[in-house]
A and B are shown apart, each in its own frame.
Chain A
Amino acid sequence: MIHHVTSTRSRRLQRIQLGARLMKWAVSACVPVLIILTALLVLSVLFPQVAALTGEQTISIGDSERAFADLSLVQRSALTILALCMFTLSFGALWTLRSLCLQFQALEFFSARSLKTVVSLGTWLICCALFEFASDPLASLIVTLDYPAGERIIDVTVDGGEIFSMSLGALLLLFGWIMSEAALLAEENRQII
Protein backbone atom coordinates (compact mmCIF):
# COMPACT_ATOMS: atom_id res chain seq x y z
CA MET A 1 0.00 0.00 0.00
CA ILE A 2 2.76 2.42 1.07
CA HIS A 3 4.82 1.36 -1.97
CA HIS A 4 1.83 2.06 -4.28
CA VAL A 5 1.35 5.54 -2.78
CA THR A 6 5.08 6.26 -3.14
CA SER A 7 5.21 5.17 -6.77
CA THR A 8 2.06 7.19 -7.60
CA ARG A 9 3.64 10.25 -5.99
CA SER A 10 6.89 9.66 -7.80
CA ARG A 11 5.02 9.46 -11.14
CA ARG A 12 3.17 12.67 -10.27
CA LEU A 13 6.42 14.45 -9.45
CA GLN A 14 8.00 13.22 -12.69
CA ARG A 15 4.98 14.58 -14.61
CA ILE A 16 5.36 17.97 -12.90
CA GLN A 17 9.09 18.00 -13.71
CA LEU A 18 8.44 17.15 -17.36
CA GLY A 19 5.70 19.78 -17.67
CA ALA A 20 7.89 22.43 -16.04
CA ARG A 21 10.83 21.53 -18.32
CA LEU A 22 8.67 21.75 -21.47
CA MET A 23 7.23 25.09 -20.35
CA LYS A 24 10.70 26.40 -19.58
CA TRP A 25 11.85 25.52 -23.12
CA ALA A 26 8.75 27.05 -24.69
CA VAL A 27 9.18 30.27 -22.71
CA SER A 28 12.92 30.35 -23.46
CA ALA A 29 12.07 30.06 -27.16
CA CYS A 30 9.59 32.96 -26.87
CA VAL A 31 12.25 35.32 -25.45
CA PRO A 32 14.34 35.67 -28.66
CA VAL A 33 11.12 35.90 -30.73
CA LEU A 34 9.95 38.77 -28.52
CA ILE A 35 13.34 40.51 -28.81
CA ILE A 36 13.37 40.17 -32.62
CA LEU A 37 9.77 41.38 -33.00
CA THR A 38 10.39 44.38 -30.73
CA ALA A 39 13.62 45.22 -32.56
CA LEU A 40 11.79 45.09 -35.92
CA LEU A 41 8.96 47.25 -34.56
CA VAL A 42 11.37 49.82 -33.13
CA LEU A 43 13.36 49.91 -36.37
CA SER A 44 10.17 50.34 -38.41
CA VAL A 45 8.95 53.18 -36.21
CA LEU A 46 12.27 55.00 -35.90
CA PHE A 47 13.43 54.51 -39.48
CA PRO A 48 10.42 54.44 -41.84
CA GLN A 49 12.76 53.65 -44.75
CA VAL A 50 13.40 50.27 -43.09
CA ALA A 51 9.64 49.73 -42.61
CA ALA A 52 9.23 48.59 -46.20
CA LEU A 53 11.58 45.69 -45.46
CA THR A 54 9.91 44.65 -42.20
CA GLY A 55 6.34 44.98 -43.47
CA GLU A 56 5.28 47.23 -40.56
CA GLN A 57 4.60 50.47 -42.37
CA THR A 58 1.47 51.83 -40.74
CA ILE A 59 -0.16 52.19 -37.34
CA SER A 60 -3.91 51.86 -36.76
CA ILE A 61 -5.79 54.61 -34.93
CA GLY A 62 -9.40 53.64 -34.38
CA ASP A 63 -10.74 52.80 -37.83
CA SER A 64 -8.01 54.57 -39.84
CA GLU A 65 -4.30 53.98 -40.38
CA ARG A 66 -1.30 56.28 -40.57
CA ALA A 67 2.09 55.62 -42.16
CA PHE A 68 5.15 55.85 -39.91
CA ALA A 69 6.82 58.01 -42.57
CA ASP A 70 4.20 60.74 -42.02
CA LEU A 71 5.05 61.05 -38.31
CA SER A 72 7.61 63.45 -36.89
CA LEU A 73 10.75 62.22 -35.14
CA VAL A 74 9.30 63.25 -31.76
CA GLN A 75 6.13 61.21 -32.41
CA ARG A 76 8.14 58.21 -33.60
CA SER A 77 10.42 58.46 -30.56
CA ALA A 78 7.41 58.55 -28.22
CA LEU A 79 5.95 55.48 -29.97
CA THR A 80 9.33 53.74 -29.58
CA ILE A 81 9.30 54.46 -25.84
CA LEU A 82 5.81 52.91 -25.63
CA ALA A 83 7.00 49.84 -27.54
CA LEU A 84 10.05 49.50 -25.29
CA CYS A 85 7.91 49.79 -22.15
CA MET A 86 5.64 47.02 -23.46
CA PHE A 87 8.73 44.95 -24.31
CA THR A 88 10.14 45.43 -20.79
CA LEU A 89 6.87 44.33 -19.21
CA SER A 90 6.45 41.32 -21.51
CA PHE A 91 10.10 40.34 -21.05
CA GLY A 92 9.74 40.65 -17.26
CA ALA A 93 6.64 38.42 -17.28
CA LEU A 94 8.31 35.83 -19.55
CA TRP A 95 11.52 35.77 -17.52
CA THR A 96 9.61 35.42 -14.26
CA LEU A 97 7.60 32.56 -15.78
CA ARG A 98 10.87 30.92 -16.84
CA SER A 99 12.27 31.26 -13.29
CA LEU A 100 9.08 29.72 -11.90
CA CYS A 101 9.34 26.77 -14.31
CA LEU A 102 12.98 26.27 -13.24
CA GLN A 103 11.95 26.22 -9.57
CA PHE A 104 9.10 23.78 -10.26
CA GLN A 105 11.49 21.61 -12.26
CA ALA A 106 13.68 21.43 -9.15
CA LEU A 107 10.51 20.37 -7.23
CA GLU A 108 10.67 23.59 -5.26
CA PHE A 109 6.94 24.17 -4.76
CA PHE A 110 6.56 25.76 -1.36
CA SER A 111 9.86 27.57 -0.86
CA ALA A 112 9.82 31.27 -0.05
CA ARG A 113 11.54 31.86 -3.41
CA SER A 114 8.89 30.12 -5.53
CA LEU A 115 6.02 31.76 -3.65
CA LYS A 116 7.64 35.14 -4.28
CA THR A 117 8.02 34.25 -7.97
CA VAL A 118 4.31 33.32 -8.32
CA VAL A 119 3.25 36.65 -6.77
CA SER A 120 5.81 38.46 -8.92
CA LEU A 121 4.46 36.80 -12.11
CA GLY A 122 0.92 37.85 -11.17
CA THR A 123 2.11 41.42 -10.64
CA TRP A 124 3.96 41.47 -14.02
CA LEU A 125 0.83 40.21 -15.82
CA ILE A 126 -1.40 42.80 -14.16
CA CYS A 127 1.12 45.52 -15.09
CA CYS A 128 1.14 44.22 -18.70
CA ALA A 129 -2.66 44.35 -18.85
CA LEU A 130 -2.80 47.86 -17.35
CA PHE A 131 -0.10 49.15 -19.67
CA GLU A 132 -1.78 47.52 -22.69
CA PHE A 133 -5.01 49.25 -21.69
CA ALA A 134 -3.25 52.62 -21.29
CA SER A 135 -1.04 52.28 -24.38
CA ASP A 136 -3.91 52.41 -26.93
CA PRO A 137 -5.15 55.90 -25.95
CA LEU A 138 -1.55 57.11 -25.52
CA ALA A 139 -0.47 55.78 -28.92
CA SER A 140 -3.51 57.26 -30.68
CA LEU A 141 -2.85 60.63 -29.03
CA ILE A 142 0.84 60.55 -30.02
CA VAL A 143 0.05 59.58 -33.62
CA THR A 144 -2.56 62.33 -34.05
CA LEU A 145 -0.68 64.99 -32.08
CA ASP A 146 0.19 66.93 -35.25
CA TYR A 147 -3.45 67.05 -36.38
CA PRO A 148 -5.30 70.34 -35.97
CA ALA A 149 -7.15 70.81 -32.66
CA GLY A 150 -10.48 68.99 -32.72
CA GLU A 151 -9.20 66.26 -35.03
CA ARG A 152 -6.91 64.55 -32.56
CA ILE A 153 -8.02 61.10 -31.50
CA ILE A 154 -7.90 59.24 -28.18
CA ASP A 155 -8.76 55.65 -28.93
CA VAL A 156 -9.85 53.68 -25.86
CA THR A 157 -10.30 49.96 -26.44
CA VAL A 158 -10.43 46.93 -24.18
CA ASP A 159 -9.82 43.62 -25.90
CA GLY A 160 -9.80 39.99 -24.84
CA GLY A 161 -6.01 39.90 -24.41
CA GLU A 162 -6.05 42.64 -21.78
CA ILE A 163 -8.92 41.01 -19.88
CA PHE A 164 -7.14 37.63 -20.10
CA SER A 165 -3.82 39.06 -18.80
CA MET A 166 -5.60 40.88 -16.00
CA SER A 167 -7.60 37.79 -14.96
CA LEU A 168 -4.56 35.51 -15.16
CA GLY A 169 -2.46 37.99 -13.17
CA ALA A 170 -5.11 38.30 -10.46
CA LEU A 171 -5.48 34.51 -10.39
CA LEU A 172 -1.73 34.06 -9.98
CA LEU A 173 -1.62 36.61 -7.16
CA LEU A 174 -4.40 34.63 -5.48
CA PHE A 175 -2.51 31.38 -6.09
CA GLY A 176 0.60 32.94 -4.55
CA TRP A 177 -1.30 33.75 -1.37
CA ILE A 178 -2.98 30.32 -1.30
CA MET A 179 0.42 28.68 -1.79
CA SER A 180 1.73 30.62 1.22
CA GLU A 181 -0.94 28.85 3.28
CA ALA A 182 0.05 25.53 1.69
CA ALA A 183 3.69 26.25 2.56
CA LEU A 184 2.72 26.71 6.21
CA LEU A 185 0.95 23.33 6.13
CA ALA A 186 3.96 21.73 4.42
CA GLU A 187 6.25 23.17 7.11
CA GLU A 188 3.97 21.82 9.85
CA ASN A 189 3.90 18.43 8.12
CA ARG A 190 7.70 18.36 8.09
CA GLN A 191 7.60 18.67 11.88
CA ILE A 192 5.50 15.50 12.17
CA ILE A 193 7.69 12.40 12.12
Chain B
Amino acid sequence: MPIIIELDVMLARRKMRSKELAERIGITEQNVSLLKSGKVKGVRFDTLEKICEVLDCQPGDILIYEKPET
Protein backbone atom coordinates (compact mmCIF):
# COMPACT_ATOMS: atom_id res chain seq x y z
CA MET B 1 0.00 0.00 0.00
CA PRO B 2 1.39 3.47 -0.83
CA ILE B 3 0.40 4.83 2.62
CA ILE B 4 3.19 4.13 5.11
CA ILE B 5 2.77 4.43 8.87
CA GLU B 6 5.96 5.79 10.40
CA LEU B 7 4.90 5.34 13.98
CA ASP B 8 8.14 3.62 14.99
CA VAL B 9 10.15 6.62 13.78
CA MET B 10 8.05 9.02 15.84
CA LEU B 11 8.21 6.72 18.87
CA ALA B 12 12.01 6.68 18.58
CA ARG B 13 12.11 10.47 18.29
CA ARG B 14 9.99 10.86 21.42
CA LYS B 15 11.91 8.05 23.14
CA MET B 16 8.67 6.33 23.97
CA ARG B 17 8.00 2.60 24.14
CA SER B 18 5.07 0.96 22.35
CA LYS B 19 3.73 -0.25 25.68
CA GLU B 20 3.52 3.30 27.05
CA LEU B 21 1.85 4.58 23.88
CA ALA B 22 -0.66 1.74 24.03
CA GLU B 23 -1.50 2.54 27.64
CA ARG B 24 -1.81 6.28 27.02
CA ILE B 25 -4.06 6.03 23.94
CA GLY B 26 -6.10 3.14 25.29
CA ILE B 27 -5.45 0.45 22.70
CA THR B 28 -3.68 -2.88 23.06
CA GLU B 29 0.06 -3.28 22.56
CA GLN B 30 -0.75 -5.79 19.84
CA ASN B 31 -2.69 -3.12 17.94
CA VAL B 32 0.21 -0.67 18.29
CA SER B 33 2.46 -3.37 16.89
CA LEU B 34 0.06 -3.88 13.95
CA LEU B 35 0.04 -0.11 13.35
CA LYS B 36 3.84 0.00 13.40
CA SER B 37 4.10 -2.82 10.91
CA GLY B 38 1.40 -1.28 8.70
CA LYS B 39 -0.63 -4.51 8.78
CA VAL B 40 -3.93 -2.64 9.15
CA LYS B 41 -6.64 -1.59 6.72
CA GLY B 42 -7.18 1.79 8.32
CA VAL B 43 -6.72 4.08 11.30
CA ARG B 44 -9.72 5.67 13.04
CA PHE B 45 -9.66 9.46 13.40
CA ASP B 46 -9.99 9.21 17.18
CA THR B 47 -6.99 6.81 17.36
CA LEU B 48 -4.98 9.17 15.15
CA GLU B 49 -6.05 12.11 17.31
CA LYS B 50 -4.85 10.38 20.49
CA ILE B 51 -1.54 9.34 18.88
CA CYS B 52 -0.90 12.93 17.72
CA GLU B 53 -1.82 14.25 21.16
CA VAL B 54 0.46 11.83 23.02
CA LEU B 55 3.39 12.09 20.59
CA ASP B 56 2.86 15.81 20.06
CA CYS B 57 2.96 15.59 16.30
CA GLN B 58 0.82 16.04 13.17
CA PRO B 59 -0.95 13.23 11.24
CA GLY B 60 1.47 13.95 8.38
CA ASP B 61 4.38 13.01 10.65
CA ILE B 62 2.97 9.51 11.02
CA LEU B 63 1.25 8.87 7.73
CA ILE B 64 3.34 9.19 4.58
CA TYR B 65 2.27 8.68 0.99
CA GLU B 66 4.88 7.00 -1.14
CA LYS B 67 4.24 6.84 -4.87
CA PRO B 68 4.30 3.22 -6.03
CA GLU B 69 7.11 2.41 -8.46
CA THR B 70 5.76 1.75 -11.94
Which residues on B are within 8 Å of A, measured CB to CB?
27, 31, 34-35, 40-44, 46-47
Q: Which one of B27, B41, B46, B47 lies within 8 Å of A191 (CB-CB)?
A: B41
Residue of B nearest to A2 (CB): B46
6 pairs of A and B residues whose beta carbons are closest in the complex: A191-B41, A192-B42, A193-B31, A193-B40, A192-B41, A191-B40
A sample of 12 more A-B contacts (CB under 8 A), given A191-B41, A192-B42, is A188-B41, A191-B40, A192-B40, A192-B41, A192-B44, A193-B27, A193-B31, A193-B34, A193-B35, A193-B43, A193-B44, A193-B47
A-side contacts of B27, CB under 8 Å: 193
Residue of A nearest to B32 (CB): A193
B-side contacts of A192, CB under 8 Å: 40-44
Q: Is chain A's binding surface mostly helix, strand, loop or mixed?
A: mixed
Number of interface residues of A (CB under 8 A): 5
A-side contacts of B42, CB under 8 Å: 191-193
Shortest distance from the beta carbon of A193 to any chain B beta carbon, whole Å:
5
Which residues on A are within 8 Å of B, measured CB to CB?
2, 188, 191-193
Residue of B nearest to A192 (CB): B42
A-side contacts of B34, CB under 8 Å: 193
Residue of A nearest to B48 (CB): A193
Question: How far does the alpha carbon of A141 sit from the alpha carbon of B41 in the complex, in Å?
Answer: 62
Shortest distance from the beta carbon of A6 to any chain B beta carbon, whole Å:
12
Question: How far does the alpha carbon of A193 sit from the alpha carbon of B48 in the complex, in Å?
Answer: 9
Residue of A nearest to B31 (CB): A193
Residue with the greatest number of chain B CB neighbours at <10 A, chosen from A2, A191, A193: A193
Question: How far does the alpha carbon of A2 sit from the alpha carbon of B27 in the complex, in Å?
Answer: 15
Residue of B nearest to A188 (CB): B41
Shortest distance from the beta carbon of B28 to any chain A beta carbon, whole Å:
9
A-side contacts of B35, CB under 8 Å: 193
Question: How far does the alpha carbon of A2 sit from the alpha carbon of B47 in the complex, in Å?
Answer: 13
Question: How far does the alpha carbon of A191 sit from the alpha carbon of B35 in the complex, in Å?
Answer: 10
B-side contacts of A2, CB under 8 Å: 46
Residue of B nearest to A187 (CB): B41
Residue of A nearest to B35 (CB): A193
Question: How far does the alpha carbon of A111 sit from the alpha carbon of B43 in the complex, in Å?
Answer: 24
Residue of A nearest to B5 (CB): A193
Question: How far does the alpha carbon of A192 sit from the alpha carbon of B40 in the complex, in Å?
Answer: 6
